[in-house]
Amino acid sequence: MTKRLSLATLCAGMLLATTAQAQTSPLSIGASAGITDVRYGTQTETGHTWEINGTLRVTDYTSLYSGYGQTSADFDNSNGTETTLTSSYIPVGVQINVPMSMGNVYLRGGGNYYQTKFGSDKDIGWGATGTVGFELQPTVGPKMAFEFTYADRGTAETSSVNVGTSIGF
């Protein structure tokens, strides 16, 4: 157990030592929210999404990305009642940053582990996710981002427009 802990500490130290920003921490945490189109079977409805996320900058152009989020939408049934779709997810991906004068344009790709509930139906698994976005103020301190995200969550697919904020340390 001690050898594993020492190895994990060594690996974490090496990863932080090779990051892009020598004077500051390469970590950034944030939150985002937005509207989303949710497709479930043949039905499509508009809902909302939120996410808490973090990035670890590896180089000036790449970051590792993860977080936790939730998407929900209300679907009208043929009998006049509503059924709520709720999808909780953990995204994991690599982000490619293209620095510009006022911020970054970025592409993010990866997967998301999800749990989707629709009425009594439940779907758990892995799906693909992709994001394109623009981030204002890419240096240390507060940032603001605008992004478009597509995610496959098994029986549900989502397309979201999000606004987020984050802070780098």
What CATH number did the domain enclosing 145 receive? 2.40.160.20
To the nearest whole percent, how much of the chain has pLDDT over 70?
Answer: 85
Q: Provide the number of structural domains found in the chain.
A: 1
pLDDT of residue 23: 42
pLDDT of residue 10: 57
Domain range spanning residue 24? 2-168
| Range from 69-73, 141-145, 161-165 carrying the lowest mean pLDDT | 141-145
pLDDT of residue 81: 87
Query: Does pLDDT of 47 surpass 60?
Result: yes
Instruction: Look at the pTM and tell me if it is higher than 0.85.
Output: no
Neighbours of 53 (CB within 10 A): 18
* Closest C-alpha among 134, 137, 161 to residue 145: 134
Write down the number of H helices and E strands in the chain: 1, 8
More confident residue, 145 or 19: 145
Handedness of CA 138, 57, 129, 123 (dihedral sign): negative
Kindly report the three-state secondary structure assignment for every residue of 120-169.
CEEEEEEEEEEEEEEEECCCCEEEEEEEEEEEEECCEEEEEEEEEEEEEC
* pLDDT tens digit sequence for 104-155: 899 999 999 999 999 899 999 999 999 999 999 766 678 899 999 999 999 9
Query: Does pLDDT of 91 surpass 70?
Result: yes
